[in-house]
């Protein structure tokens, strides 16, 4: 692992690190904020998964999450959204290939050799963090935006007992029924739609739900609202009587102005679960 940068940030440290990933068969870069409390021992961790076209850097610099994580004594992890490098397959469209990993393990060519973002986020990166930083892997929570909100919800429901809480900003909530999903799941996983179900938050909510609190926020003026399909997730959660709060925020769009506005709420929500 190589340190790309470390900067003092709200009494703690915002770092950027690169390492050789066995899951993705390429070098991967991630951001990690450690609050001041990490100098005295392991702290709980909140994962932030970013959306289409993003790298580790977008939320790290735009979301304002470090302010509130420092206040709560929580570490923040900002993984990349896909594998990178000259040998990694790509597509001319922004919503497939580099920057669009969709947090799945691809089984189809040309994606299968590198696009294993589920294993990277679920297994490889947590192990790396636990070995090298003051991170308490017994206290984890997860959040994300758009494609990352999809990833946060599916990882939380797909790994029972791993995360104490899950939240999402404008998640792609029903990808198997959306053009933001059918295209990518078909490309990465193949035509058998039965294999897509493990990566559809609405279907997972219908089947099993989440064993903890859920929080989602979506803007009423989100320009991608018809692709996100929040109503499908709301209906599935209501049918399950899922513990959670799912909000439509009047006037907000899909941007990081929206994310940063409600970041304090989300960090406080996770802090209650991580320290409760």
| Residue partners of 42: CB distance under 8 A and separation at least 6 | 134, 135, 136
Catalytic annotation present for 145: no
Catalytic annotation present for 254: yes
Q: Can the peptide bond before residue 110 be classed as cis, meaning omega within 30 degrees of 0?
A: yes
Query: Which conformational region is residue 132 in: left (phi greater than 0), alpha (psi within -120 to 50 degrees), or beta?
Result: alpha
Residue of 173, 128, 184, 178 lying closest to 151 (CA atoms):
173
Which one from 174, 254, 266, 270 is the annotated catalytic residue? Answer: 254
How big is the CA angle at 269 (ends 50 and 40), to the nearest 5 degrees?
Answer: 85
Instruction: Tell the residue number behind the tokens 């078909």, with chain if given.
Output: 186
Which one from 174, 199, 222, 266 is the annotated catalytic residue? Answer: 222
Alpha carbons 183 and 54: distance in angstroms, whole number: 19
Alpha carbons 136 and 161: distance in angstroms, whole number: 15
Catalytic annotation present for 199: no
Which one from 146, 165, 167, 178 is the annotated catalytic residue? Answer: 146
As annotated, the active-site residues are 146, 222, 254
């Amino acid at each position: 692992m190589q340190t790309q940068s470390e900067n003092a940030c709200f009494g703690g440290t915002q770092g950027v690190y690169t390492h050789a990933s066995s899951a993705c068969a390429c070098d991967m870069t991630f951001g990690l904020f450690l609050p001041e409390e990490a100098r005295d021992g392991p702290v709980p961790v909140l994962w932030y998964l970013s959306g289409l076209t993003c790298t580790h850097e977008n939320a790290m610099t735009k979301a304002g999450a470090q302010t509130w994580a420092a206040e709560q004594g929580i570490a923040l992890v900002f993984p990349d959204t896909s594998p990178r490098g000259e040998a990694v397959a790509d597509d001319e469209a922004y919503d497939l290939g580099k920057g669009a990993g969709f947090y799945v393990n691809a089984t189809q060519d040309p994606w299968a050799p590198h696009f294993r973002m589920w294993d990277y986020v679920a297994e490889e990166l947590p192990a790396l963090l636990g070995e090298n930083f003051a991170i308490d892997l017994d206290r984890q929570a997860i959040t994300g935006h758009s494609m990352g909100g999809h990833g946060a919800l599916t990882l939380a429901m797909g790994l029972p007992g791993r995360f104490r809480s899950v939240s999402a900003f404008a998640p792609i909530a029903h990808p198997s029924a959306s053009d933001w999903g059918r295209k990518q799941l078909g490309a990465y996983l193949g035509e058998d739609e039965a294999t897509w179900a493990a990566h559809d938050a609405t279907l997972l909510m219908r089947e099993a739900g989440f064993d903890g609190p859920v929080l989602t926020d979506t803007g009423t003026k989100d320009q991608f609202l018809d692709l996100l399909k929040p109503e499908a997730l709301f209906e599935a959660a209501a049918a399950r009587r899922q513990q959670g709060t799912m909000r439509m925020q009047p006037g907000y769009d899909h941007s990081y102005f929206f994310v940063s506005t409600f970041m304090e709420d989300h960090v406080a929500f996770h802090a209650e679960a991580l320290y409760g």
